[in-house]
Amino acid sequence: MRILRVIASTDPRGGGPIEGLKLSAAALSEMGHETEVVSMDDPTAAFLRHLPFVVHARGPKKFGGRYAPDLAPWIAENAARFDVAVIHGLWNWASVGGSIAVRRARLPYVLFTHGMMDPWFKTQYPVKHVAKQALWLAGQGQALRDAQSVLFTSEEEKLSARHVFWGHPYAEEVVAYGCAAPPARNPGQDDAFCTCVPDLKGRRYLLYLSRIHEKKGCDLLIDTFAHAASADPDLDLVVAGPDTHGMTAGLKMAAAASGIGGRVHWPGMLTGAAKWGAFHGAEAFILPSHQENFGIVVAEAMACGTPVLTTSKVNIWREVQASGGGLIEPDTAEGVQNLLSTWMAFSKDSKQAMRSKARLGFERSFRIETAAKALEAVLAKASKSRSQRLEEA
């Protein structure tokens, strides 16, 4: 199949959606399928040079980054080259305008919501939700209604999305994301990570690796680690990830005010060898999110045999819990405190046993090859519908 992926941005700082796209495209390529991507990125963006597939960047964007006038015309001109399209995300022109363009070109498509219909957003931002409901009726809901399938990456996400918006029913399907097995651990990874956190100086640490964002519970993490730190004075915390909302300065001030400023390390976004070194060297991975669609970083941690401490708002929490390779608590101060205190109370043998279970849990539930086969089946079914229409015509 020739597959067109439509996404607002391919910037790696965007987190899970683009990372999942990269991984699934690579796995689908191994199966003999071709992937091209069209986005609203500025074609001069440096990150475009490092992506493993063809990207047609149709920016620069206008109206505060919400609109790219060249996106839909490009799809109209090129849709005939493809068998099926995948639209990623909601609430942007790539989703609304992209779906209009593929429908007009009679190119069948599926749509990944990427957690953007989670009820947490409705509760947290009620005014924005009213605006989103209006957009849903005006165009976004039609994008889901006319998709061959609306794809959710877990059963939990699918169920929680129901009844968040009214109008425009759609066909649901669960197609899990996953991650590739990491490269084998080697000294180069450890050295790359150590270069990024020179003040860590070989101390034991918990790792947070994700965007620094309100929904990720970063403030809870700093506050609860401050309370738990005295129970294990040799344990530090690494908070790694891009900050696009300016939270880091306030979090650093909170850590300093609590007396743990020297035990919290802020290397920024980690990639490549440094990222894998961080995962492999961590005693445990912690993600205290209030909302998380899939959590590729959770799967990556487990792939490295690193136990996961996370909340029941991460949609794959049931799989993590069932594996025995992680701990689950509510996304509250008490819940995150319980994660830390329980972990700190474990013996070395118990922690080591969880490392083995985490890796087995990855093999069972989160390998990208399994997820890609499921996506292949969905895309083949959608593509077949186009072939049938062309034959009838």
- Could you tell me if 353 and 388 lie in one domain? no
Nearest Cα residue to 339 out of 211, 222, 225: 225
Which tokens in the block code for residue 329?
Answer: 């608590």
Q: Give CA 41 to chain center in angstroms.
A: 19
Q: Are strands 235-240 and 204-209 parallel, antiparallel or unpaired?
A: parallel
Q: Which residue has the higher pLDDT, 19 or 158?
A: 158
- Could you tell me if 108 and 251 lie in one domain? no
Q: What is the pLDDT confidence band of residue 260, given thresholds at 50, 70 and 90? A: very high
Contact indicator for 323, 371 with CB cutoff of 8 Å: no
- Could you tell me if 344 and 206 lie in one domain? yes
- Could you tell me if 107 and 241 lie in one domain? no
- Could you tell me if 115 and 21 lie in one domain? yes
Q: Which residue has the higher pLDDT, 293 or 314?
A: 314
Domain that holds residue 41: 2-179+368-392
Q: What is the pLDDT confidence band of residue 304, given thresholds at 50, 70 and 90? A: very high
**What is the per-residue pLDDT for 61?**
80
- Does the pLDDT at position 127 exceed 80? yes
- Could you tell me if 198 and 75 lie in one domain? no
- Could you tell me if 9 and 152 lie in one domain? yes
**What is the per-residue pLDDT for 200?**
95
Summary mean pLDDT of the chain: 93
- What one-letter code names the amino acid at 344? M
Nearest Cα residue to 317 out of 283, 255, 361: 361
Q: Looking at residue 26, which CATH number applies to its domain?
A: 3.40.50.2000
pLDDT in tens, 344-362: 999 999 999 999 999 999 9
Which tokens in the block code for residue 221?
Answer: 């993490």
Contact indicator for 101, 144 with CB cutoff of 8 Å: no
Helix (H, G, I), strand (E, B) or coil at 212: coil
Percent of the chain with pLDDT over 90: 81
**What is the per-residue pLDDT for 65?**
67
- Could you tell me if 216 and 161 lie in one domain? no
- Could you tell me if 89 and 207 lie in one domain? no
- Could you tell me if 214 and 106 lie in one domain? no
Q: What is the pLDDT confidence band of residue 379, given thresholds at 50, 70 and 90? A: very high
Which residues are bridge partners to 236 per DSSP? 205
**What is the per-residue pLDDT for 178?**
84
**Measured CA distances, 329 to 134, 304, 342 (Å):** 35, 22, 11
- Does the pLDDT at position 60 exceed 90? no
Q: Indicate the helix (H) or strand (E) that contains 356.
A: helix 348-365
| CA Rg value for the chain | 21
**What is the per-residue pLDDT for 305?**
97
- The per-residue b/e assignment along 330-354, b for 16 or more CB within 10 angstroms, e otherwise, is ebeeebbbbbbeebeebeeeeeeeb
Number of domains in the chain: 2
Mean pLDDT for the stretch of residues 240-269: 95
Which tokens in the block code for residue 63?
Answer: 């109206």
**Measured CA distances, 388 to 381, 384, 391 (Å):** 11, 6, 5
- Distance in angstroms (rounded) separating the CA atoms of residues 111 and 89: 7
Q: What angle do CA 196, 197, 201 make, to 5 degrees?
A: 135
Contact indicator for 348, 354 with CB cutoff of 8 Å: no
pLDDT in tens, 162-211: 999 999 999 999 998 888 889 999 999 999 999 999 999 989 999 999 99
Q: Which of 62-66, 299-303, 334-338 has the lowest mean pLDDT?
A: 62-66
**What is the per-residue pLDDT for 389?**
55
- Could you tell me if 149 and 206 lie in one domain? no
**What is the per-residue pLDDT for 66?**
80
- Distance in angstroms (rounded) separating the CA atoms of residues 354 and 349: 9
- Could you tell me if 94 and 143 lie in one domain? yes
